[in-house]
């Protein structure tokens, strides 16, 4: 199944580079990683070429759910089990930096997007324990998460809910409109 937005946006193959093209740096792959790297290099004044085998966003990026969220399942508690608090905090700081850079880029280029509060939730008692652990890991990493026990969602609840969220004044989940 492809992402909804790929059905609405015409796919354009990138132009073939001229044979006598010269670049100081060539980035391979036009997903979020390659495209962002190429933009940053170009902004730093480097003559950069971006090579893409298919079209921009052809693979994982174009078929993701396109959220820019710092809460990613149980990632923080998972990392915390094997890494120091400083490492987890550095991971969170890098995520926040990337999120705010991309959000600024979207605003600068008038790309339609939504800013929403993000939630980590569970549908079972076992999942609830995992969410509690994630909440503690997020707090240790300095994220202003808070605990709520009810979610207004349009689908049926399987069991009790546990959720963590950040105040909506801090934009942290962002998805295409
Ligand atoms: C279902 C799903 C949902 C997701 N949802 C989210 C989400 O909501 N938020 C989030 O942050 N992350 C999400 N992710 C993860 C995220 O999409 C990936 O981490 C990210 O898109 C990876 O980007 P990338 O640029 O590294 O790779 P890709 O997007 O895969 O880009 C690689 C590009 O390189 C090109 N390429 C490969 N080989 C060559 C070659 N030899 N020559 C030229 N070009 C080449 C490919 O065609 C492709 O365009 C999701 C992932 C999946 C699978």
> 71: closest CA among 119, 122, 123?
119
Determine if ligand 1 sits within 6 Å of the CB of residue 33. yes
Q: How confident is the model at residue 147 (pLDDT cuts 50, 70, 90)?
A: confident
For residue 157, what pLDDT is reported?
52
Determine if ligand 1 sits within 6 Å of the CB of residue 29. yes
Mean pLDDT of the region 129-149:
87
Determine if ligand 1 sits within 6 Å of the CB of residue 13. no
Look at the block and give the residue holding tokens 């998460």: 145
For residue 166, what pLDDT is reported?
45
Q: Whose CA is nearest to atom 35 of ligand 1?
A: 29
Tokens at 147, concatenated: 């605990």
Per-residue pLDDT at 177 exceeds 50: no
For residue 14, what pLDDT is reported?
81
Ligand 1 centroid distance, CA of 28 (Å): 12
Q: Rounded to whole angstroms, how far apart are CA atoms 42 and 37? A: 9
What is the tens place of the pLDDT at every residue in 47-96? 999 999 999 989 999 888 888 888 888 999 999 999 999 999 999 999 99
Per-residue pLDDT at 175 exceeds 70: no
Determine if ligand 1 sits within 6 Å of the CB of residue 28. yes
| Least confident segment among 2-6, 58-62, 161-165 | 161-165
Ligand 1 centroid distance, CA of 60 (Å): 3
Indicate left, alpha or beta for 73 from its phi (over 0: left) and psi (-120 to 50: alpha). left
Beta partners for residue 51, in sequence order: 28
Determine if ligand 1 sits within 6 Å of the CB of residue 27. no
What pTM does this model have?
Answer: 0.83
| Beta strands at 48-51 and 25-28: parallel, antiparallel or unpaired | parallel
| Least confident segment among 5-9, 107-111, 173-177 | 173-177
Mean pLDDT of the region 16-41:
93
Determine if ligand 1 sits within 6 Å of the CB of residue 3. no
């Amino acid at each position: 199944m492809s992402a909804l937005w790929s059905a609405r946006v015409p796919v354009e193959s990138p132009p073939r580079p001229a044979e006598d093209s010269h670049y100081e740096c060539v980035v391979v792959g036009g997903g979020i990683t390659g495209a962002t790297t190429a933009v940053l290099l170009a902004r730093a004044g480097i003559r950069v070429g971006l090579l893409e085998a298919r079209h921009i966003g052809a693979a994982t990026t174009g078929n993701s759910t396109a959220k820019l969220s710092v809460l990613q399942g149980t990632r923080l508690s998972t990392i915390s089990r094997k890494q120091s608090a400083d490492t987890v905090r550095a991971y969170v700081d890098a995520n926040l930096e990337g999120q705010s850079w991309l959000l600024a880029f979207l605003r600068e280029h008038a790309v339609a997007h939504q800013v929403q509060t993000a939630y980590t939730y569970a549908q079972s008692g076992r999942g609830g324990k995992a969410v509690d652990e994630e909440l503690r890991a997020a707090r240790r990493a300095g994220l202003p998460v808070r605990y709520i026990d009810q979610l207004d969602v349009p689908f049926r609840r399987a069991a009790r809910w546990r959720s963590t969220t950040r105040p909506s004044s801090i934009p942290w989940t962002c998805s295409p409109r």
